[in-house]
Amino acid sequence: MTNHDNPKEFTLEITRMRDIRQRIGILITGYNNHLNLDRPPKPSFNILSKLNYSYYAVYRGDFDTFEDVKQKRDELYDIYNMKVKNYEKKEVSNINIVSFK
């Protein structure tokens, strides 16, 4: 999940669900519970609060252990962090463009 206003603000969620929309629905429900019932926050809640975000599956794979899953997630964090490290946001005819060098 990525904040469109600030691509450096992103999070990677781990799920066994085949349809990512189910996971996002659960995150939105959790976010609403956080607001209404004073439940503890998650990193994704900050992105959801901005209302200008997108989500997509970045990797699908089979793993033997949860530790393998977390290791792959950390590798993906490193890759994405390197990608957004030097991003520029440009205004062109009222269209926001994010470019990666």
Angle between helices 43-50 and 20-37 (to 10 degrees): 90
The answer to whether 17 touches 72, Cβ cutoff 8 Å, is no
Which pLDDT tens digits describe the chain residue by residue (101 residues)?
888 888 888 888 888 888 888 888 988 999 999 988 877 888 889 889 888 888 888 888 888 998 998 899 889 888 888 887 766 665 555 555 555 55
pLDDT in the model for residue 38? 79
Per DSSP, the three-state class of 10 is strand
- For the record, the structure tokens of 22 come out as 């189910």
Rounded to whole angstroms, how far apart are CA atoms 1 and 31? 14
Residues forming beta bridges with residue 12, ordered by sequence position: none
Helices (H), strands (E): how many in the chain?
3, 4
Rounded to whole angstroms, how far apart are CA atoms 100 and 87? 5
pLDDT in the model for residue 8? 83
